[in-house]
């Protein structure tokens, strides 16, 4: 994104330096090049937010050229290329986006960025799901269908075990193949959803509450239960958020080991002032490794038991 502001004239220089950077990165670990997995991401689309922001039309033309250059580099080297420019350009219109998210904000608006370029919290959250989709990861959306008589059940992308059913209640467990994404940050567009679609038919008229982990996660009438309840809360979401926070903490530990914020004073030309603190850097690595082991356990989905009851 930063280099693209230099325009088409600087594109050959950009390609040359990009190639050099990739040569350095793919040999730095000492592994054979064929064992190094590389994914190249394009810049995102530059949204037109109107005055007082500048018109990004010309810049988007340059961005397309830089994205095409990165795509060509990926093809030559056999790397995976993720076209975030095209994905975010589409996101400015009302379309059904990856993972079932609906974006209805005009021209990208400020839901995705803070200034038309830099992503905000929601922008990063939605881009992460977009990358998953473009890498052909399994979808996190699933559908469960139950009949209150117990004669019919169906599930897509999850495993369901029904314990009890009646005209006024149901109890069942859902085992997910992949952990669902962390809850979307606030504020976010009101039209988005990304949860479990649970449909229960054959209930007698009335209002119902769906609970999991001792807390209500959805509610609605018998007719709404038959249409489907979107589950965006509960133990699975809590586990996903706990995992996200643990990954952030692990990354901080590794950052302090690999490149402390004041590394000039600890390792650089001014280490005469604080170089004695360099002995602390290796101590962060075991902390990061310990969190990696916790992450490996926490990323495994756990079955969740749901209870549907008439109010």
Give pLDDT tens digits for 226-251. Answer: 999 988 889 998 999 999 999 999 99
**C-alpha pair distances (Å), 172 with each of 107, 140, 148, 204, 218:** 43, 19, 12, 18, 15
Give pLDDT tens digits for 136-148. Answer: 888 777 889 999 9
Q: What pLDDT, on the 0 to 100 scale, is given for residue 193? A: 54
Q: Does residue 151 carry a pLDDT above 80?
A: no
Name the one residue in this structure whose structure tokens are 């600087």: 10
Contact 201, 226 (CB under 8 A): yes
pTM higher than 0.75, yes or no?
yes
Contact 306, 212 (CB under 8 A): yes
Residues near 196 by Cβ (< 8 Å), separated by ≥ 6?
Answer: 141, 142, 143, 144, 158, 174, 180, 230, 231
Q: Is the CA virtual torsion 195, 196, 200, 204 positive or negative?
A: negative
Instruction: Report the alpha-carbon distance of residue 179 to residue 242 in Å, rounded.
Output: 12
Q: Does residue 18 carry a pLDDT above 80?
A: yes
Q: What pLDDT, on the 0 to 100 scale, is given for residue 181? A: 83
Q: Report the candidate in 181, 174, 215 with the shortest Cα–Cα distance to residue 304.
A: 174
Instruction: Report the alpha-carbon distance of residue 79 to residue 41 in Å, rounded.
Output: 11
Instruction: Report the alpha-carbon distance of residue 113 to residue 16 in Å, rounded.
Output: 30
Instruction: Report the alpha-carbon distance of residue 27 to residue 38 in Å, rounded.
Output: 12
Instruction: Report the alpha-carbon distance of residue 19 to residue 25 in Å, rounded.
Output: 10
């Amino acid at each position: 994104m930063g280099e693209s502001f230099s325009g088409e004239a600087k594109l050959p220089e950009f390609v040359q330096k990009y190639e050099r950077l990739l040569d350095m990165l793919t040999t730095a670990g000492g592994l054979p090049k064929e064992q190094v997995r590389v994914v190249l991401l394009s810049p995102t689309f530059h949204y037109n937010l109107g005055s007082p922001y500048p018109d990004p039309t010309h810049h988007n033309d340059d961005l397309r050229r830089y994205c095409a250059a990165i795509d060509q580099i990926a093809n030559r080297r056999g790397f995976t290329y993720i076209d975030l420019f095209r994905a975010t350009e589409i996101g400015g219109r009302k379309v059904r986006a990856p993972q079932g998210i609906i974006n209805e904000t005009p021209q990208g608006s400020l839901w995705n960025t803070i200034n038309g370029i830099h992503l905000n919290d929601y922008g990063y959250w939605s881009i992460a799901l977009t990358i998953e989709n473009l890498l052909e990861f399994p979808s996190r959306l699933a559908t469960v269908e139950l009949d209150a008589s117990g004669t019919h059940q169906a599930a897509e992308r999850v495993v369901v075990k029904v314990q009890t059913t009646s005209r006024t209640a149901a109890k069942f467990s859902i085992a997910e193949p992949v952990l669902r994404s962390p809850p979307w940050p606030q504020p976010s567009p009101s039209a988005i959803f990304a949860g479990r679609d649970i449909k229960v038919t054959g209930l007698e008229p009335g209002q119902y509450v769906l609970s999991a982990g001792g807390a209500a996660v959805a509610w609605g009438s018998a007719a709404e239960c038959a249409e489907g309840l979107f589950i965006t809360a509960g133990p699975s979401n809590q586990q996903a958020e706990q995992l996200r926070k643990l990954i952030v903490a692990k990354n901080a530990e590794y950052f302090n080991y690999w490149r402390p914020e004041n590394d000039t004073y600890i390792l650089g030309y001014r280490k005469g002032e604080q170089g004695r603190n360099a002995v602390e850097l290796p101590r962060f690595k075991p902390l990061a490794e310990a969190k990696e082991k916790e992450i490996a356990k926490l990323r495994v989905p756990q079955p969740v038991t749901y209870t549907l009851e008439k109010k």
